[in-house]
Amino acid sequence: MFIEDDGIKLVAKLDMPAPAEGKHPLVIIIHGFTGYKDEPHLLAVSKALNEIGCATLRVDMYGHGASGGEFRNHTLYKWVTNALTVIDYARSLDFVTDIYLCGHSQGGLTVMLAAAMKHDAIKGMIAMSPAWMIPEAARNGTLLGESFDPEHIPDELPAWGGRTLGGNYVRVAQTIRVEEAIDRFAGPVLIVHGDQDGAVPVEYGIRAAQRYRNSKLVLIQGDGHCYEHHLDQAVKAVRDWMKEKV
C-alpha cells in the first residue's frame, strides 16, 4: 500500500499484531540513508513489536526503496514532511491508540525532528544509531567521508554505492539544529547504539540520551551500524522498553 504525500507515493507496509482485532498502539518505523523499509534489522524490530501487541508501519521515504522521488533530490526537510504525513495517516486509523516513532540512523534523526514538531501526537520515540551528526557534519564540510567547502557546496556529492547526492541535501542539513529538537520532546525516548558503529559514532547516541529529559540508553557491545553481530540484543532492547509501555 502507499501513503500519498503531496503527489509523492510513499510505499508502506502495515503489520498487525495477532490477534488483530481491537485497538493497538502503532509504531512507525523509518529506515536510514540509502536504506529501505524491509532491511533485516527493521523487519526484526517490526516482528518483535507485533509479538507484544503493537501494530507497525514501515515506510520507504522520499527517493528510497519503492517510493517516489529521486535519491539525489532527497533532503532532510522532505523526509521530515514525509514523516509528518505518515503520522497524520496513523492518526486517521481507528484501531490506533498511541503512536510511537522508531527510526534507524538518518531515520533516527528524522524521528527526532518529527517528534519535536508533533510532540502532542507522539507517545514515545525509539532512535536506533541516530545519525544526528549529519547537520553538524554538513556545516563542517565532512559528510559521507568526503571533505568539501561548506560555504561553496558542490552541486553533486558522491554517495554510497555509486549514487549521487544533490548539494541541496547539504544546504538543508546545514540549517538543522538538533539540540533544539531534542529539547522540544519530553516523552519517553529509547536510544540503541552499537559501540563499534563505523557510520555514526556511538558518542552521538550517548549524547542524545544525556540531553533527552526522559531517556534510556542501551549500548550494544561490539556491534556496528546495522547490528550485524548482535541484532537479537538490539531487538530485545526495543521489545523490553516497549513492553513496559503497552
Q: What are the grid coordinates assigned to 228, written together?
A: 550485524
Select from 11, 131, 181, 192 the one that contacts ligand FER (CB under 6 A): 131
Q: How far is CA 75 from CA 57, 154, 169, in A?
A: 22, 15, 5
Q: Which string of x and - marks every residue 195-224 that binds ligand FER (by CB under 6 A)?
A: ----xx------------------------
Could you tell me if 40 and 112 are in contact, meaning their C-beta atoms sit under 8 angstroms apart? no
Q: Which residue is nearest to ligand FER (CB)?
A: 32
Q: How far is CA 14 from CA 47, 76, 78, 115, 183, in A?
A: 11, 24, 22, 20, 30
- Does 137 bind ligand FER (CB under 6 A)? Our answer is yes
Q: Which string of x and - marks every residue 15-34 that binds ligand FER (by CB under 6 A)?
A: -----------------xx-
Q: List beta partners, residue 13.
A: 58
- Smaller CB separation from ligand FER, 55 or 134: 134
- Smaller CB separation from ligand FER, 25 or 166: 166
- Does 56 bind ligand FER (CB under 6 A)? Our answer is no
Over the range 194-208, which residues count as b (16 or more CB within 10 Å of their CB) and which as e? beebebbebebbebb
Q: List beta partners, residue 55.
A: 26
Over the range 67-85, which residues count as b (16 or more CB within 10 Å of their CB) and which as e? bebebbebbbbbbbbbbbb
- Does 49 bind ligand FER (CB under 6 A)? Our answer is no
Q: How many residues of this chain interact with ligand FER, rule: CB under 6 A? A: 11
Q: DSSP character for 61?
A: P
CB of 153: closest distance to ligand FER in angstroms? 13
Select from 67, 106, 174, 215 the one that contacts ligand FER (CB under 6 A): 106
Select from 46, 50, 56, 105 the one that contacts ligand FER (CB under 6 A): 105
- The residues binding ligand FER (CB under 6 A) are 32-33, 105-106, 131, 134, 137, 143-144, 199-200
